[in-house]
Protein backbone atom coordinates (compact mmCIF):
# COMPACT_ATOMS: atom_id res chain seq x y z
CA UNK A 1 0.00 0.00 0.00
CA UNK A 2 1.37 3.41 -0.93
CA UNK A 3 0.46 6.57 0.87
CA UNK A 4 0.13 9.87 -0.92
CA UNK A 5 2.56 12.59 0.16
CA UNK A 6 1.08 15.43 2.16
CA UNK A 7 0.20 18.24 -0.28
CA UNK A 8 1.13 20.88 2.31
CA UNK A 9 4.53 19.38 3.12
CA UNK A 10 5.68 19.59 -0.50
CA UNK A 11 4.28 22.90 -1.74
CA UNK A 12 6.11 24.51 -4.67
CA UNK A 13 7.84 27.72 -3.60
CA UNK A 14 5.86 29.79 -6.13
CA UNK A 15 2.61 29.01 -4.28
CA UNK A 16 3.86 30.53 -1.02
CA UNK A 17 2.53 34.06 -0.57
CA UNK A 18 4.13 34.67 2.83
CA UNK A 19 5.91 32.83 5.61
CA UNK A 20 7.64 33.09 8.94
CA UNK A 21 9.66 30.68 11.09
CA UNK A 22 6.73 28.35 11.83
CA UNK A 23 4.07 28.80 9.14
CA UNK A 24 3.23 29.87 5.62
CA UNK A 25 0.21 31.03 3.67
CA UNK A 26 -1.01 30.25 0.19
CA UNK A 27 -4.07 30.96 -1.90
CA UNK A 28 -6.45 28.00 -1.87
CA UNK A 29 -6.18 25.78 -4.94
CA UNK A 30 -9.97 25.42 -5.02
CA UNK A 31 -11.15 28.83 -3.77
CA UNK A 32 -14.75 29.44 -2.75
CA UNK A 33 -14.27 33.20 -3.18
CA UNK A 34 -11.60 35.56 -4.53
CA UNK A 35 -8.69 35.72 -2.09
CA UNK A 36 -9.54 32.45 -0.29
CA UNK A 37 -6.30 31.62 1.52
CA UNK A 38 -4.85 28.88 3.69
CA UNK A 39 -2.50 29.43 6.62
CA UNK A 40 -0.46 26.30 7.31
CA UNK A 41 2.12 25.31 9.93
CA UNK A 42 5.46 24.22 8.47
CA UNK A 43 5.57 21.27 10.85
CA UNK A 44 3.32 18.41 9.77
CA UNK A 45 0.68 18.44 12.47
CA UNK A 46 -2.96 17.43 12.12
CA UNK A 47 -4.73 19.46 14.76
CA UNK A 48 -4.65 23.06 15.93
CA UNK A 49 -4.67 21.63 19.46
CA UNK A 50 -1.32 19.89 18.80
CA UNK A 51 0.47 23.14 17.91
CA UNK A 52 2.81 25.01 20.22
CA UNK A 53 2.12 28.53 21.42
CA UNK A 54 4.86 29.73 19.06
CA UNK A 55 3.19 28.00 16.11
CA UNK A 56 -0.20 29.44 17.07
CA UNK A 57 1.26 32.96 17.21
CA UNK A 58 2.96 32.40 13.84
CA UNK A 59 -0.29 31.16 12.29
CA UNK A 60 -2.22 34.19 13.55
CA UNK A 61 0.50 36.55 12.31
CA UNK A 62 0.14 35.11 8.81
CA UNK A 63 -3.65 35.12 9.05
CA UNK A 64 -3.36 38.89 9.48
CA UNK A 65 -1.03 39.10 6.47
CA UNK A 66 -3.39 37.03 4.32
CA UNK A 67 -6.31 39.24 5.35
CA UNK A 68 -4.36 42.41 4.53
CA UNK A 69 -3.50 41.02 1.09
CA UNK A 70 -7.09 39.98 0.38
CA UNK A 71 -8.38 43.35 1.59
CA UNK A 72 -5.98 45.27 -0.64
CA UNK A 73 -6.64 43.16 -3.73
CA UNK A 74 -10.31 42.19 -3.48
CA UNK A 75 -11.93 44.62 -0.98
CA UNK A 76 -14.24 42.07 0.70
CA UNK A 77 -17.01 43.10 3.07
CA UNK A 78 -16.25 40.40 5.66
CA UNK A 79 -14.46 37.12 6.33
CA UNK A 80 -15.08 33.60 7.51
CA UNK A 81 -12.17 31.98 9.34
CA UNK A 82 -12.33 28.25 9.86
CA UNK A 83 -10.46 25.08 10.73
CA UNK A 84 -11.75 21.60 9.98
CA UNK A 85 -10.08 19.75 12.87
CA UNK A 86 -10.48 15.99 12.49
CA UNK A 87 -12.29 13.79 10.00
CA UNK A 88 -15.62 14.19 11.82
CA UNK A 89 -15.29 17.96 11.28
CA UNK A 90 -14.67 17.50 7.55
CA UNK A 91 -10.86 17.60 7.51
CA UNK A 92 -9.69 15.92 4.29
CA UNK A 93 -5.98 16.85 4.37
CA UNK A 94 -4.48 15.62 7.66
CA UNK A 95 -2.21 18.67 7.97
CA UNK A 96 -3.65 21.60 9.90
CA UNK A 97 -4.70 24.57 7.76
CA UNK A 98 -6.75 27.64 8.56
CA UNK A 99 -9.15 28.88 5.90
CA UNK A 100 -9.51 32.62 5.40
CA UNK A 101 -12.55 33.09 3.17
CA UNK A 102 -13.32 36.64 2.02
CA UNK A 103 -17.03 37.38 1.87
CA UNK A 104 -18.82 39.89 -0.31
CA UNK A 105 -22.13 41.64 0.08
CA UNK A 106 -24.65 39.59 -1.91
CA UNK A 107 -22.48 36.47 -2.36
CA UNK A 108 -25.33 34.58 -0.62
CA UNK A 109 -28.92 35.72 -0.26
CA UNK A 110 -28.71 35.42 3.55
CA UNK A 111 -25.23 34.91 5.00
CA UNK A 112 -26.43 34.97 8.62
CA UNK A 113 -25.05 32.11 10.67
CA UNK A 114 -21.78 31.90 8.70
CA UNK A 115 -19.80 28.90 9.91
CA UNK A 116 -22.84 27.57 11.78
CA UNK A 117 -24.04 26.17 8.42
CA UNK A 118 -21.70 23.19 8.84
CA UNK A 119 -24.71 21.81 10.76
CA UNK A 120 -27.58 23.00 8.53
CA UNK A 121 -30.37 21.81 10.84
CA UNK A 122 -28.96 23.96 13.66
CA UNK A 123 -27.64 26.97 11.75
CA UNK A 124 -30.78 29.10 11.69
CA UNK A 125 -31.26 29.96 15.34
CA UNK A 126 -32.99 33.32 14.69
CA UNK A 127 -36.21 32.04 13.05
CA UNK A 128 -39.32 31.12 15.00
CA UNK A 129 -39.58 27.52 16.08
CA UNK A 130 -35.86 26.84 16.39
* pLDDT average, residue stretch 47-67: 98
98-122: pLDDT as tens digits: 999 999 999 999 999 899 888 888 8
Q: Is residue 75 flagged as an active site residue? A: no
Catalytic pick from 22, 36, 97, 99? 97
User: Burial of 69 by CB count in 10 Å (0-12 exposed, 13-18 middle, 19+ buried)?
Assistant: middle
**pLDDT confidence of residue 2:** 57
Q: Mean pLDDT over all residues of the chain? A: 94
Domain boundaries along the sequence of the chain = 13-107
Please name the residues in contact with 95: beta carbons below 8 A apart, sequence gap of 6 or more. Answer: 6, 7, 8, 9, 40, 41, 44, 45, 46
pTM: 0.92
As a CATH number, domain 13-107 is: 3.30.428.10
Amino acid sequence: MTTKPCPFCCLPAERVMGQNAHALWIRDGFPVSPGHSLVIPKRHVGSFFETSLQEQAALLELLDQARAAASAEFHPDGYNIGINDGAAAGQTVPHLHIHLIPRFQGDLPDPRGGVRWVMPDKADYWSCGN
